[in-house]
Amino acid sequence: MKWGKTMNKEHFLIELKIYLKPLTNQQQVFILNKYETIFEERSAAGETEEQIAKSLGKPRGIAEEILQEFDISVPEKKLERDGWQEIQPIVNNDYYYEDIPEHPYDDTYRTYERPHHNGFTRFCQIAGILLFNFLFMFWMIFASIMLLFSGWLTAVLFLFSPILGGISIFAGFNDGTMFQLFLSIFLSGAGIIGLLILTPLTKFFGKVLRRYLQWTIRVLRGEI
């Protein structure tokens, strides 16, 4: 892919993966996950994928900086018709694949290795997380969802309350109908404020819930 064209997250990560091919799969996973997280966080802040990709720079340049730390350089090659290419690492004469040098990322990469737990530890993990979720987290999540739902329902009803005030005027004009009209306008303003508060609150709750579910799945799989 040429950098002059618009590049989204998918294209950015694919091209970055191409140039990171000399690394191990475990190292590639860590780096790609890191940049995918950057896209997700900055997209949530309102940036487009194209803006994020442009600000990060060319995937080839990023890969070259990373590979230099491993004493590996990327040869200049054109992409094949299918969009992929074979990259053969060019290494120094004193570099051997059998002797893997120490690297500051190594400790981080090891976090992707699934820990080895005995049967009793795995049983305690699974039983503990299921019991905790059933006795506490399930009800907390349910209560939070109900509160958000009731808040959204109330805000929407308040937002459309001037309709009822208008109907009361057409039904019969008196002092009471004027009070109802002004009250409905006040409630409509409260509904707008409520929607402005509920929107980021709902997004935050969804993000926290997704992170917790991902953590729970990792515990059940034995990855933690």
Q: Tens of pLDDT along 27-72? A: 899 999 999 999 999 988 888 988 998 889 889 889 888 888 877 7
What does the mean pLDDT of the chain come to? 77
Assess whether pLDDT exceeds 80 at residue 106: no
Q: Which residues span the domain enclosing 182?
A: 119-221
Do the beta carbons of residue 185 and residue 162 sit within 8 Å? yes
Residues 100 and 161 in one domain: no
- Give the residue from 112, 144, 167 where a domain finishes: 112
| Residue 48 domain-assigned (yes or no) | yes
Give 145-204 pLDDT, tens digit per residue.
Answer: 999 999 999 999 988 888 876 776 666 656 666 777 788 888 889 999 999 999 999 999
- Give the residue from 68, 87, 112 where a domain finishes: 112
Assess whether pLDDT exceeds 70 at residue 99: no
pTM for the full predicted model: 0.45
pLDDT at 115: 58
Assess whether pLDDT exceeds 70 at residue 217: yes
Assess whether pLDDT exceeds 70 at residue 113: no
Residues 69 and 98 in one domain: yes
| Residue 69 domain-assigned (yes or no) | yes
**Average pLDDT, integer, range 132-142:** 91
- Give the residue from 82, 112, 142 where a domain finishes: 112
Assess whether pLDDT exceeds 60 at residue 96: no
pLDDT at 89: 45
pLDDT at 84: 46
Q: How confident is the model at residue 1 (pLDDT cuts 50, 70, 90)?
A: very low
Q: Which of 71-85, 106-120, 131-145 has the highest average model confidence (pLDDT)?
A: 131-145
The residue with tokens 């990023």 is 62
| Residue 171 domain-assigned (yes or no) | yes
Residues 25 and 80 in one domain: yes
Considering its fold, how many domains does the chain have in total? Answer: 2
Cα separation, 187 vs 195, in Å, equals 12
| Residue 216 domain-assigned (yes or no) | yes
SS3 of the chain:
CCCCCCCCHHHHHHHHHHHCCCCCHHHHHHHHHHHHHHHHHHHHCCCCHHHHHHHHCCHHHHHHHHHHCCCEECCCCCCCCCCCCCCCCEECCCCCCCCCCCCCCHHHHHHHCCCCCCHHHHHHHHHHHHHHHHHHHHHHHHHHHHHHHHHHHHHHHHHCHHHHHHHHHHHCCCHHHHHHHHHHHHHHHHHHHHHHHHHHHHHHHHHHHHHHHHHHHHHHHCCC
